[in-house]
A = this chain, B = another copy of it.
């Protein structure tokens, strides 16, 4: 950043934004009741292989704006308030045979019902973050999906629905089912509830009810996520000596 040469004297890469859109698809035959963590794959006419939604960035447009626009125009879905999360910059010089490109890869999660309008495929992923179909995507997009899935699973160990897949207010069962789908494992009801309790507040739904019943059984109480005091809250912090901090 410290050169006095004109910017135009430097060769410049093409910079793309690619987005792994993740969701929990309703349960199939597998794993009984548990939904499946899945990723949105586009199949453009002129491409041999499936790709993630993405395009090159335009001047005077931020990355966040680009993400939103890509989802709207390429995937034909409304991202709403969902926050895209930077994964990393993919910079292998040979990642695109057309020339020198960088990909600023992002992950983003959306509730399944907002993806059905899209003309894209929703493909489940396995434990290692590969597509269950074994499909090979274009460019390095399989790797982007793997990293997106890994980061997402990691975060779902630590906090209640950090990607906002569940609409508030929700019941503990709804919350747990989403976590089970993301993590790909059944979770213990009692321990899960107690863990999450510290990060939730009781709430009412639009109708002012403090609990809901689905069709049978005891009605469940409603919760919203407590505005989290910090991402690091649930991890250990080193013990300060004396009263410092």
Q: Is the CB of B58 within 8 A of A192?
A: no
Q: Is A81 an interface residue (CB 8 A)?
A: no
> A240 contacts which of B4, B187, B245 (Cβ < 8 Å)?
B187
Q: Is A60 an interface residue (CB 8 A)?
A: yes
The smallest beta-carbon distance between A157 and chain B, in angstroms, is 5
Q: Is the CB of A238 within 8 A of B13?
A: no
Cα of A4 to Cα of B55 in the assembled complex, Å: 11
The smallest beta-carbon distance between A43 and chain B, in angstroms, is 10
The smallest beta-carbon distance between A7 and chain B, in angstroms, is 4
Cα of A232 to Cα of B42 in the assembled complex, Å: 32
Residue in chain B with minimal CB distance to A104: B89
Residue in chain B with minimal CB distance to A234: B236
Q: Is A36 an interface residue (CB 8 A)?
A: no
Q: At the interface with chain B, which of A95-103, A111-119, A220-228?
A: A95-103
Residue in chain B with minimal CB distance to A176: B238
> A186 contacts which of B61, B192, B241 (Cβ < 8 Å)?
B241
| Known interface pairs A1-B16, A12-B13; 15 further A-B residue pairs with C-beta atoms within 8 A, sorted by A's residue number | A1-B54, A1-B56, A1-B101, A2-B42, A2-B47, A2-B55, A4-B46, A10-B56, A10-B58, A12-B14, A15-B102, A62-B92, A157-B232, A186-B240, A188-B239
